[in-house]
Amino acid sequence: MKRYHGLLGVVVLGALMSASAQVSFTHIKSVDLSTYFPNGGQQGNLASDVAFDGSNLYIAGMSTANSTAESVGVLKISNVLSLDVNSWTYTPLITLTQAGQSRSSYIVYRDGFIYLGTGLGAADDPAQTGIRKFDAATGTQISTWNSSGTVPGVVLPRDLSNSSRAECIETDPGYQGNNPSLAVLARARGIIFRRDFASGAALPNILSIPSRDCLGGQQTTGMRDITFSPEGDAYLRVDNSIFYAQRTAANSVQDGRACRIFNFDSDTQSQVLINIHYLRTSSGDYLIYNRRTGDANNRINKVFVASGSGATWTPYAEILGNEPLPNGSTPAAYAFDIFNFTSGFGPDPSKGDVNLDGIVDDADLLALLFEFGSSNAAVDVNSDGVVDDADLLTVLFNFGSNPRAQYLFIVHSSIDTDRLDIYRVDAGGGE
């Protein structure tokens, strides 16, 4: 019997990168999104989750309004890896009416489609909640998805073995990375529900009951969020703890349970948007997560990073939001405790691929030479405010290469403030 409970108690983290670190998080963008999530806005009044397709971001909004019928949806940010934030395009992609009252929204991108859970935590009613599939280019709902469900086009809590409420969605890569599916958690159920990406049909569930003593006792089912290692091991964010479940087959984890590996007993249990993200880099694996105390006077306004694998993790870094940007400016530190995260690979304009086409070539060189001496941010490779010899040397040094980088995207929200921060994950070995 493996025992994983109590591995981490009080977490005290230091600098953004520890002295022995192999990975650093370089702060490259900090953008205010508040105007896109105002009270009564089309996508809601609070940024709730984020997905990335390699060049564009999709930010799901929720509503905190005291109503069961509020506008929520998805904001698409195109060209988000461009060095010039003024070239980004913001498109209200999806709008629908669902429950407010702090009912969360979660989003997954896969193969040209968006999977969107809205009103999560609300009653079993398609007018208030549901998980739906949309075309990522047009925002059109795929009405034939889950066609055999109670309401075609929607996965409702009742479709999850008669659960009362759903809590989150995420990509399950499958056992050993085979046969990915959409994973769903439901409140008060120690089960990882799974749906077929293409059809929405139910797949075999995975029994994964969170056990605080790792022996089957001290069970809790306060499901909040889930993430997976690329091999399919599950990490459950359950109220004030994190649990680990080792995958043993396509439809099972060891002993049918998850064991506690992070103990945050001092945190309030009943908080929405307690999130977690598994980040694999060429130099090791990391868990990204937030904590919420429920105490307005003692909020934990930061993102935590732990390094390790399996059930063994150690504190690694904190992300505070005020790490300097490439131009030397320093954004304000995070001022609230709601965060969500995603990551992915994409072109790296800091290595000279300023047109983001995947290769440093004549087009990039000409773009830079045409703007030489200007302050055009789109071709200012080192973002120091001027297009000069330093930028030219970077393009020439990387000429003919295909530079790619790994990125961590963080949305940080409160009712009045919504913010996007992008960090480049700098690790040895590349993609």
Mean confidence (pLDDT) of the chain = 92
Q: Is the pLDDT of residue 18 over 80?
A: no
Tell me the mean pLDDT in the region 319-345.
96
**Total residue length of the chain:** 431
Q: Is the pLDDT of residue 4 over 50?
A: no
| Per-residue pLDDT at 14 | 33
CA–CA gap between residue 75 and residue 83 (Å, rounded): 20
| Per-residue pLDDT at 7 | 39
| Per-residue pLDDT at 233 | 98
Kindly report, residue by residue over 391-429, the tens digit of the pLDDT: 999 999 999 999 999 999 999 999 889 999 999 999 874
Q: Name the pLDDT band for 17 (thresholds 50, 70, 90).
A: very low
Equal fold, 23-348+406-427 vs 353-402: no
CA–CA gap between residue 69 and residue 371 (Å, rounded): 50
Closest CA to 23 of 402, 358, 283: 283
CATH of domain 353-402: 1.10.1330.10
| Per-residue pLDDT at 118 | 98
Sign of CA dihedral 110, 111, 114, 120: negative
| Per-residue pLDDT at 270 | 82
What order of strands is seen across the sheet that includes strand 209-211?
Answer: 209-211, 257-263, 241-245, 234-238, 223-228
Domain ranges of the chain: 23-348+406-427, 353-402
Q: Name the pLDDT band for 1 (thresholds 50, 70, 90).
A: very low
| Per-residue pLDDT at 268 | 85
Supply the pTM of this predicted model: 0.93
Kindly give, in sequence order, each residue whose CB lies less than 8 Å from that of residue 106, ignoring residues fewer than 6 positions away. 48, 49, 60, 116, 117, 120, 168, 169, 170, 225
CA–CA gap between residue 357 and residue 158 (Å, rounded): 45
| Per-residue pLDDT at 61 | 97
Kindly report, residue by residue over 251-300, the tens digit of the pLDDT: 999 999 999 999 998 898 888 999 999 999 999 999 999 999 988 889 99
CA–CA gap between residue 253 and residue 285 (Å, rounded): 20
Tell me the mean pLDDT in the region 94-116.
96
Q: Is the pLDDT of residue 11 over 60?
A: no
Q: Which residue has the higher pLDDT, 8 or 313?
A: 313
Q: Name the pLDDT band for 5 (thresholds 50, 70, 90).
A: very low
| Per-residue pLDDT at 266 | 86
Do residues 203 and 150 touch, judged by C-beta distance below 8 A?
Answer: no
Which of left, alpha, beta for 199 (phi over 0: left; psi -120 to 50: alpha)?
A: alpha
Kindly report, residue by residue over 352-374, the tens digit of the pLDDT: 999 999 999 999 999 999 999 99
Q: Name the pLDDT band for 19 (thresholds 50, 70, 90).
A: very low
Kindly report, residue by residue over 173-218, the tens digit of the pLDDT: 999 999 999 999 998 899 999 999 999 999 999 999 999 999 988 8
Tell me the mean pLDDT in the region 235-247.
95
Kindly report, residue by residue over 130-169, the tens digit of the pLDDT: 999 999 999 999 999 999 888 999 999 999 999 999 999 9
Percent of the chain whose pLDDT exceeds 70: 94
| Per-residue pLDDT at 65 | 92
Provide the CATH topology of domain 23-348+406-427.
Methylamine Dehydrogenase; Chain H (2.130.10)
| Per-residue pLDDT at 219 | 82
